[in-house]
């Protein structure tokens, strides 16, 4: 009730242990705290907090307009209602290396299990769009170094994302650069690597081969990567898979069709079977738990007053 009873440091330790187990952790993107509760209820291993979703939620494009405070607050709202570890997209870290250290601390304070910092220039853009640019190696490594030095809980996961693959039109050159950068980011202290915009399973396998730390696969729709199955990704040694924007896309698709139905049919009667029921919603947010808590307090107060 009210929030997860598992403190953040325990979620982080559990996340580290799960990563060490070698099984693939499936982390769909929660578009709000309620959807994080659904992700937990369905038996997933973690929750992802996407920058693309966070900005879209505010009606903004994903071009680095959101602030650290907005991201930390929303990520914290999501992390606190689930027992699962939550990993947040911290874009380019919100500034220079010193800012990155502060970003890590605020995100730690918000109860997250980890974050990822990418090597794009500011203003960043969606990793699956063309025309991205990355910072030089030294700047990329400094961001990660600062993140690692900034954290207080050693189990807080600092993941480095590299967007370099998509900045080179020749795929062989792109992969060579991605492998090189992934290795150096890991050497700089990154606990995990997020190789962005991999085009094939072979490319994921090549990154897997190059580094000893866990790697993440981004199964975002309408992007550069084919949508591989969890089995395929596990087979090439991927440790975490995110479906960052998928729940938002599904929900918005349903919302759009619902609005069109009101216009066309004058009511939503035909859509009711597709809706989450009131009972299911109440179950997810543990309505019953709040009622009995409230009742307990009410009863306690009455007897207390009578005795005094």
Ligand X SMILES: C[C@](O)(C(=O)O)[C@H](CC(=O)O)C(=O)O
Q: Among all chains, which residue has been given the structure tokens 């030095």?
A: 149
Residues 167 and 174: beta-carbon distance below 8 Å? yes
Cα separation, 71 vs 55, whole angstroms: 9
Question: Minimum distance from CB of 130 to ligand X (Å)?
Answer: 12
Q: Which of 127, 166, 174, 195 binds ligand X (CB under 6 A)?
A: 127
Token representation of residue 281: 């919603």
Q: How many residues bind Mg ion (CB under 5 A)?
A: 3
> Judging by DSSP bridges, how do beta strands 240-243 and 216-218 pair with one another?
parallel
Residues 175 and 204: beta-carbon distance below 8 Å? no
Which of 251, 250, 233 lies closest to 242 in space, CA to CA?
A: 233
Identify which range of 35-43, 81-89, 138-146, 254-262 contacts Mg ion by CB under 5 A: 81-89
Q: Which of 51, 85, 111, 214 binds Mg ion (CB under 5 A)?
A: 51
Question: Minimum distance from CB of 62 to ligand X (Å)?
Answer: 6
Identify which range of 19-27, 123-131, 174-182, 300-308 contacts ligand X by CB under 6 A: 123-131
Question: Minimum distance from CB of 257 to ligand X (Å)?
Answer: 22
Identify which range of 3-11, 46-54, 166-174, 252-260 contacts ligand X by CB under 6 A: 46-54
Residues 223 and 6: beta-carbon distance below 8 Å? no
Cα separation, 113 vs 10, whole angstroms: 9
Cα separation, 244 vs 56, whole angstroms: 12
Strands (E) across 97-197 are located at 114-118, 157-162, 192-195
Residue 161: active-site member = yes
Q: Is position 128 an interface residue for ligand X (rule: CB under 6 A)?
A: yes
Query: What is the separation of C-alpha 289 from the centre of its chain, rounded to a whole number of angstroms?
Result: 28
Q: Is position 246 an interface residue for ligand X (rule: CB under 6 A)?
A: no
Residues 67 and 94: beta-carbon distance below 8 Å? yes
Question: Minimum distance from CB of 49 to Mg ion (Å)?
Answer: 10
Q: Of these residues, 161, 165, 181, 249, which one is catalytic?
A: 161
Q: Is position 245 an interface residue for ligand X (rule: CB under 6 A)?
A: yes
Q: Is position 62 an interface residue for ligand X (rule: CB under 6 A)?
A: yes
Question: Minimum distance from CB of 91 to ligand X (Å)?
Answer: 8
Residue 304: active-site member = no
Residue 203: active-site member = no
Q: Given the complex with Mg ion, which of 174 and 244 has the nearer CB atom?
A: 244
Q: Of these residues, 91, 108, 163, 203, which one is catalytic?
A: 91
Cα separation, 36 vs 30, whole angstroms: 5
Residue 221: active-site member = no
Active site residues: 48, 62, 89, 91, 116, 118, 126, 161, 196, 218
């Amino acid at each position: 009730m009210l929030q997860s009873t598992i403190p953040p440091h325990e979620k982080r330790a559990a996340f580290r242990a799960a990563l060490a187990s070698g099984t693939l952790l499936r982390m769909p993107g929660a578009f709000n705290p309620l959807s994080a509760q659904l992700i937990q209820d369905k038996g997933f291993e973690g929750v992802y907090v996407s920058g693309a979703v966070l900005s879209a939620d505010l009606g903004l494009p994903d071009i680095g307009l959101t602030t650290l405070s907005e991201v930390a607050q929303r990520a914290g709202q999501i992390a606190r209602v689930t027992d699962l570890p939550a990993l947040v997209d911290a874009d380019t870290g919100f500034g220079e290396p010193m800012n990155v250290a502060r970003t890590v601390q605020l995100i730690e304070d918000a109860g997250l299990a980890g974050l990822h910092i990418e090597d794009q220039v500011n203003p960043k853009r969606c990793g699956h769009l063309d025309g991205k640019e990355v910072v030089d190696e030294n700047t990329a490594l400094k961001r990660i170094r600062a993140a690692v030095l900034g954290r207080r809980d050693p189990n807080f996961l600092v993941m480095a994302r590299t967007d370099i693959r998509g900045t080179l039109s020749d795929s062989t050159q792109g992969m060579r650069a991605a492998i090189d950068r992934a290795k150096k980011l890991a050497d700089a202290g990154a606990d995990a690597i997020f190789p962005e915009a991999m085009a094939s399973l072979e490319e994921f396998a090549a990154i897997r081969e190059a580094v000893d730390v866990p790697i993440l696969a981004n199964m975002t729709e309408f992007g550069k990567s084919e949508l591989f199955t969890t089995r395929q990704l596990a087979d090439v040694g991927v440790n975490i898979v995110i479906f960052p924007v998928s729940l938002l896309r599904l929900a918005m698709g349903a919302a759009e069709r619902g609005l069109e139905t009101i216009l066309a049919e004058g009511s939503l009667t035909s859509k009711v079977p597709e809706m989450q029921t009131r009972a299911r919603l109440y179950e997810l947010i543990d309505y019953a738990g709040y009622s009995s808590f409230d009742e307990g307090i009410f009863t306690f107060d009455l007897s207390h007053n009578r005795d005094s």
